[in-house]
Amino acid sequence: MRILKFLLFGTLAFFSVSAFALEIPEIIKMSDVEEKPVLFHHGEHQAAVSDCSDCHHAGMEKPRCNSCHGADRLIPRLKSAFHHQCRNCHIKNGGPTDCSGCHK
């Protein structure tokens, strides 16, 4: 029994660690809305922006923006949420603001 518990715990710990590592990709090819795909360098942004919640403003439980934006009509649509968050920070901090800077 003790061995079984140990194995279970070990497996859970292993899965939670590896799942976490796998769930944060270096580059995300965004195609939630039909348009030229935007390649988002999550890794570089994560390194430049210290706080996850600057972008994941609703917390880390649902990291995908489309779990709320576009899912509930009272919440701003996905395109608007991305354009506001991405572009506003770029205007302030010097990332690309031209369409082609993001839509390759």
Q: List residues near ligand HEC by CB under 6 A.
A: 23-24, 28, 30-35, 38, 40-42, 44-46, 48-49, 52, 54-58, 60, 62-69, 75-76, 79-87, 89-90, 93-97, 99, 101-103
Beta carbons of 71 and 59 less than 8 angstroms apart:
no
Please name the residue ranges forming H helices in the chain: 2-23, 42-48, 78-82, 88-93, 99-102
What is the chain's alpha carbon radius of gyration, rounded to the nearest angstrom? 18
Rounded to a whole number of angstroms, the minimum distance from the CB of residue 17 to ligand HEC is: 13
7/64 with CB nearer ligand HEC: 64
Give the separation between CA 101 and CA 21, rounded to whole angstroms. 28
7/35 with CB nearer ligand HEC: 35
12/83 with CB nearer ligand HEC: 83
